[in-house]
């Protein structure tokens, strides 16, 4: 498999893909290894995960360069991701022993009722490229902590990062018969679906997620899906500082070139501040430096996948043909590499793809609204349900809107952020199940109820 640098189109490296035989060997190895991993204490497992975290932090520069070169993520953002993902490890260290402890529920007469949280067994983690540390840790570190063996398939667009993570897990003392990495794209993913895993944990697009859920349904094993979004932001007229709101909204829309599952994908602005907000927003986005992702000053790198250039151009053309105008950008760059100009589309409406389909790129639609009711109606007009954000001052008004949202996460005066303390989950086409928090670890265990009469 050729690993292509999205900034140049050059081949970085050629690596071997897994085959049905290598995958079967890996699964057999994991099935044996998991028997000894599951009987270790949570603290023993966490010791190794803590060591892994230290090794990763020591290697940040080397790992950030790998991530930046193979996905096009600007180097500063690559560093931020790797350093930031460490909060999952801190959170696990602090909480996992109590989350996984044998839970005494009640003693009634001479009957003691309690719960043991047993691991699922050997799980498959089919993952995405846009935040391989964050979304990877959310699954494989929690699964390992709970006593499972893991077959981890990084995306074909972040395979070198997947291999680098695997090497460091081994260095930290995670046995090879507990964690295996598989290399390849859709075909390798398909083979994994056909094998005998005890759970499927997927991060990626809605279409692949739906396919996976259908393919493995007959196995009756847990399936978890972290999928895409079309996340709305509503900017009310009473934001304390319109310029600051515009700067925050721009960052939420364009960070990682908009390739974040919880990026702001559409913005509704009160008509009372629309012109002023738009002016600040355009000013801010105009300062974003687009270029070589390994350059310290770059804010927008190339898109990871070349095919997304066509998808974004299509959204722009579709919007223009239905009456929208382009306030900034609008085109792919003509030089080599998968570059698309930071693009702001205005006068949008919900007949346009840019307001309905996931864009996953440096492009945003902005629409004027005249009331909270109109904003709520438009925010809810989506097939997705990952996050929804409101910027404003009046807590009561904000609260009504956040309660009305049908999404896994709601934000007030912030956006595009994930915390290990609370569940991360999508509704509707954004997914099934939760990662992070106590709920995130429960995804990797099965309860065994004890009814004991000593
Ligand atoms: P994708 O669906 O194209 O690929 C995801 C993974 O699935 C890859 O490893 C790929 O090789 C594998 N795959 C593809 N076809 C398969 C098949 N038929 N059988 C088995 N495996 C298969 O998604 P992507 O482009 O890697 O990721 C981008 C998407 O992920 C966006 O929609 C984004 O919003 C979403 N995402 C969601 C979250 C979240 O937490 N909700 C986080 C990150 C990304």
Domains identified in the chain and CATH numbers: 2-227+430-452 (3.40.605.10), 231-412 (3.40.309.10)
List the structure tokens of 88: 């999952």
Chain centroid offset of residue 36 CA: 31
Q: What is the pTM of this model?
A: 0.97
Q: How far apart are CA 67 and CA 162, in angstroms?
A: 10
8 Å CB contact between 203 and 162: no
**Which residue has its alpha carbon closest to ligand 1 atom 20?**
189
CA atoms of 83 and 78, how far apart (whole Å) = 9
Give the residue among 207, 45, 202 at the shortest CA–CA distance from 138.
Answer: 202
C-beta separation of 209 from 431 below 8 A: yes
pLDDT at 365: 98
Q: pLDDT for 361-405, tens place per residue?
A: 999 999 999 999 999 999 999 999 999 999 999 999 999 999 999
β-pair type (363-369, 2-4): unpaired
From ligand 1's centre to the CA of 206, what distance in Å? 8
Residue 291 backbone dihedrals phi, psi, to 5 degrees: 170, -155
Mean pLDDT, residues 28-57 taken together:
98
Q: How far apart are CA 123 and CA 126, in angstroms?
A: 10
Q: pLDDT tens for residues 251-297?
A: 999 999 999 999 999 999 999 999 999 999 999 999 999 999 999 99
CA 287 to ligand 1 centroid distance, Å:
31
Cβ neighbourhood burial of 106 (10 Å; 0-12, 13-18, 19+): exposed
Query: Where does the pLDDT of residue 335 fall: very low under 50, low under 70, confident under 90, or very high at 90 and above?
Result: confident
Atom of ligand 1 nearest to the CA of 386: 41
Strand partners, 345: 326, 365
In this structure, are residues 235 and 268 in contact, taking their beta carbons and an 8 Å threshold?
yes
Nearest to 181 by CA among 206, 157, 155, 205: 155
Instruction: Name the token pair of 406.
Output: 């049908």
Scanning the structure block, which residue is given the tokens 């600051």?
A: 244
Q: Are 146 and 119 in contact (CB under 8 A)?
A: yes
Residue 62 has pLDDT above 90, yes or no: yes
Pocket of ligand 1 (CB under 6 A): 126-131, 135, 153, 155-156, 185-186, 189-190, 193, 203-205, 208, 211-212, 226-229, 261, 358, 360, 386, 426, 431
Q: How far apart are CA 339 and CA 401, in angstroms?
A: 36
Backbone phi, psi, residue 396, to 5°: -65, -45
Give the model's confidence band at 336: pLDDT under 50 very low, under 70 low, under 90 confident, else very high: confident
Say yes or no to pLDDT of 1 above 90.
yes
% of residues, the chain, pLDDT over 90:
99
Residue to mutate (ligand 1; options 204, 213, 304; most atoms within 8 A of CB)? 204
Nearest CA to ligand 1 atom 21: 189
């Amino acid at each position: 498999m050729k690993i292509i640098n999205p900034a140049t189109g050059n081949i970085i490296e050629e690596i071997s893909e897994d085959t049905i035989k290598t995958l079967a060997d890996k699964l057999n190895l994991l099935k044996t290894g998991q028997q000894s991993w599951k009987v270790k204490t949570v603290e023993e497992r966490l010791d190794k995960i803590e060591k892994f975290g230290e090794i990763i932090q020591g290697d940040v520069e080397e790992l950030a360069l790998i991530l930046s070169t193979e996905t096009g993520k600007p180097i500063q953002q690559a560093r931020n991701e790797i350093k930031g993902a460490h909060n999952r490890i801190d959170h696990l260290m602090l909480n996992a022993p109590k989350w996984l402890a044998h839970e005494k529920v009640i003693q009634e007469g001479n009957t003691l009722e309690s719960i043991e949280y047993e691991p699922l067994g050997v799980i498959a983690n089919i993952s995405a490229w846009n935040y391989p540390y964050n979304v990877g840790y959310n699954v494989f570190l929690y699964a390992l902590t709970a006593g499972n063996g893991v077959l981890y398939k990084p995306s074909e667009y972040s395979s070198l990062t997947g291999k680098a993570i695997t090497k460091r897990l081994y260095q930290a003392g995670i046995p090879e018969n507990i964690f295996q990495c598989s290399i390849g794209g859709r075909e390798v993913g398909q083979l994994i679906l056909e094998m005998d895993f005890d759970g499927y944990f997927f991060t990626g697009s809605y279409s692949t997620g739906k396919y996976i859920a259908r393919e493995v349904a007959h196995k009756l094993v847990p399936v978890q899906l972290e999928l895409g979004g079309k996340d709305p932001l509503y900017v009310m007229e009473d934001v304390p500082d319109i310029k600051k709101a515009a700067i925050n909204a721009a960052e939420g829309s364009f960070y990682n070139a908009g390739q974040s599952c919880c990026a702001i994908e559409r913005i509704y602005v009160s008509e009372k501040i629309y012109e002023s907000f738009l002016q600040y927003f355009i000013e801010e986005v105009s300062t974003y430096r687009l270029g070589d992702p390994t350059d310290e000053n770059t804010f927008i790198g190339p898109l990871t996948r070349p095919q997304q250039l066509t998808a974004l151009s299509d959204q722009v053309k579709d919007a223009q043909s239905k009456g929208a105008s382009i306030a900034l950008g609008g085109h792919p760059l003509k030089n080599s590499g998968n570059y698309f100009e930071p693009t702001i589309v205005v006068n949008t409406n919900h007949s346009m793809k840019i307001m309905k389909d996931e864009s996953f790129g440096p492009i945003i639609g902005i629409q004027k609204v005249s009331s909270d009711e109109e904003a709520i109606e438009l925010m809810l007009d989506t097939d997705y349900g990952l996050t929804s954000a409101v910027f404003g001052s009046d807590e009561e008004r904000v609260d009504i809107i956040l309660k009305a949202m049908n999404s896994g996460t709601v934000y007030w005066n912030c956006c595009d952020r994930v915390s290990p303390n609370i569940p991360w989950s999508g509704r509707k086409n954004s997914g099934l199940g939760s990662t992070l928090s106590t709920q995130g670890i429960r995804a990797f265990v099965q309860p065994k109820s004890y009814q004991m009469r000593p």
